[in-house]
């Protein structure tokens, strides 16, 4: 699908946790399976898919852990998107489970290679300076957004072209009783399925803007699904137009959170 003009700039529907009666009464977090076995951090790296915009971590989760999670996530009460989006929201047709779970966000951050890779910021074998790190992540990194979203796309489901919003949040602080003012700067997608697990289609596709009005847009950047690969992309004002292509066979499963920095 060609990129749409900026006039039709769709946002992903609000990623803030729903204000339903259930969420206000503090929905019980799931009993997430342990995050092991994992690939040692020293065997992993941040690999740019598009410089300064999209980074991947291939083999972030091994196949076995992805499989354990897909089986577990399928037992959660996922909710199918209502057919018609609110005005200005992108069409998202999938099944979703959303939970505010600071403990799981912290495990996904510190209990995996993510924290070390992001804080170390060794991109393509080159270690960034402290200033370059702040410029890359948009500030001093705190960890992952506690707003955890699980997506299941079955055959025919997709996430239409949109931009991801940055959100201001209060980040729980380990060192002080009060939370720290934070904002989200990058989207984290963790793919649990791929053609190797029977999922066809469903690639996340990014549409770069043309360099000027008179020039053609560069070709889209396609993130092929790889079970266990994590992908980070800039969001908010620096977000690229992107979509989750239609799944044509099998199921696509994704865990979504966001990188948070001090505000």
Ligand X SMILES: O=C(O)CCC(=O)C(=O)O
Sign of CA dihedral 215, 219, 220, 223: negative
Q: Which of 3, 10, 12, 253 binds ligand X (CB under 6 A)?
A: 12
Q: Which residue is nearest to ligand X (CB)?
A: 244
Interface region with Fe ion, contact rule CB under 5 A, candidates 3-11, 15-23, 132-140, 157-165: 157-165
Q: Which does 233 bind (CB under 5 to 8 A by kind): ligand X, Fe ion, none?
A: none
Q: DSSP characters for 216-238?
A: PPPPPEEE---TT-EEEEE-GGG
Q: Which is nearer to ligand X, 113 or 150 (CB)?
A: 150
Question: Which positions from 141 through 160 interact with ligand X, judged by CB under 6 A?
Answer: 151, 159
Output the smallest distance, CB 209 to Fe ion, in A: 16
Alpha-carbon 222 to chain mean position: 15
Residue 103: phi and psi, rounded to 5, are -70, -40
Output the smallest distance, CB 200 to Fe ion, in A: 21
Output the smallest distance, CB 31 to ligand X, in A: 24
Q: Which residue has the tokens 């939970």?
A: 99
Residue 197: phi and psi, rounded to 5, are -105, 10
Ramachandran class of 204: left when φ > 0, alpha when ψ lies in -120 to 50, beta otherwise: beta
Q: Does 183 bind ligand X (CB under 6 A)?
A: no
Q: Which of 242, 257, 258, 261 binds ligand X (CB under 6 A)?
A: 242
Q: Does 261 bind ligand X (CB under 6 A)?
A: no
Q: Does 226 bind Fe ion (CB under 5 A)?
A: no
Residue 30 has, within 13 A of its CA and on its CB side, a CA count of 18
Q: Which of 183, 244, 246, 247 binds ligand X (CB under 6 A)?
A: 244
Tokens of 219: 């070709």
Q: Does 258 bind Fe ion (CB under 5 A)?
A: no
């Amino acid at each position: 699908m060609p990129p749409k003009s900026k006039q039709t700039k769709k946002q992903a529907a609000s990623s803030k946790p729903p204000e339903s009666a259930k969420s206000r009464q503090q929905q019980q977090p799931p009993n997430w399976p342990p995050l092991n076995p994992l690939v040692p951090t020293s065997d992993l790296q941040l690999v740019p898919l598009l410089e300064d915009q999209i980074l991947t971590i291939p083999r972030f989760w091994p196949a076995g852990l992805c499989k354990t999670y897909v089986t577990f996530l399928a037992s959660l009460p996922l909710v199918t998107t209502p057919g018609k989006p609110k005005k200005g929201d992108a069409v998202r047709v999938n099944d979703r489970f959303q939970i505010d779970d600071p403990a799981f966000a912290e495990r996904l951050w510190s209990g995996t290679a993510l924290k070390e890779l992001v804080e170390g910021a060794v991109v393509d074998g080159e270690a960034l300076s402290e200033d370059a790190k702040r410029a890359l992540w948009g500030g001093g990194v705190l960890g992952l957004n506690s707003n955890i979203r699980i997506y299941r796309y079955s055959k025919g489901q997709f996430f239409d072209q949109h931009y991801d919003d940055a959100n201001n949040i209060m980040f729980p602080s380990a060192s002080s009783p009060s939370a720290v003012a934070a904002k989200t700067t990058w989207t984290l997608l963790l793919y649990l399925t791929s053609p190797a697990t029977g999922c066809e289609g469903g690639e996340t596709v990014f549409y770069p803007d043309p360099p000027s009005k008179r020039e053609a847009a560069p070709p889209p950047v396609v993130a092929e699904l790889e079970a266990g690969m994590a992908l980070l992309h800039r969001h908010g004002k620096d977000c690229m137009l992107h979509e989750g292509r239609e799944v044509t066979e099998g199921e696509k499963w994704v865990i979504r959170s966001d990188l948070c920095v001090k505000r």
